[in-house]
Amino acid sequence: MLKARIVSGILARMSLAGLVLVVEDEDPVRRYTVSLLEELGFTVLQASDGVEAIAILRERSAEISAMLLDHSMPGLSGEEVLAQVEREGLVVPVVLTSGYDRASLERRFAGHDIAGYLQKPFRIEALDETVRLAVARRAQAS
C-alpha cells in the first residue's frame, strides 16, 4: 500500500514537472543535461542545433514548458534562435546556457525576454531551480 502511494506520488510529480527542450550542439553535454532533467522528473526533447530547435518549437511550442538554449552553437547561434522564435511569435520561457558569465550574457541579451541563465558547468541544484522557475513562469502566463 505504501509503495503504491510512493510510486503514484513520484509519477504525479513527474507529470507536473513539464516538457523541456534542450538545445545543445555538444553531444556529451546534451546527453548529460537530458539525464539530469529526467532525474529531476522532467520530460525532455532534444535538439542538436538551432534549426532543429526551431522545427520542434514550430510543432510543439504549446506543449513545451521551457527551453534550455546553448548560447554558442555553429550554424544558428542561441541569439539567432531566440530572434527567430520571437519573430515567429513562438512563446516559450528560455533559459540560456553558456560557459560565459551571467553578467556578460545579461548585457548581451538585454533586449530579450530571458527566463534564466545557467553557467556551464552547472550543478543539478542550479539546473533544478532555474528550470522550475522558468516552468512556473510558463504556467502563470497560460
Q: In whole angstroms, what is the distance from residue 3 CA to residue 20 CA?
A: 28
Q: Are 47 and 22 in contact (CB under 8 A)?
A: yes
Domains, in order of start, for the chain:
1-141 (3.40.50.2300)
Q: What is the pLDDT of residues 61-91, one digit of tens each?
A: 999 999 999 999 999 999 999 999 999 999 9
More confident site: 62 or 142: 62
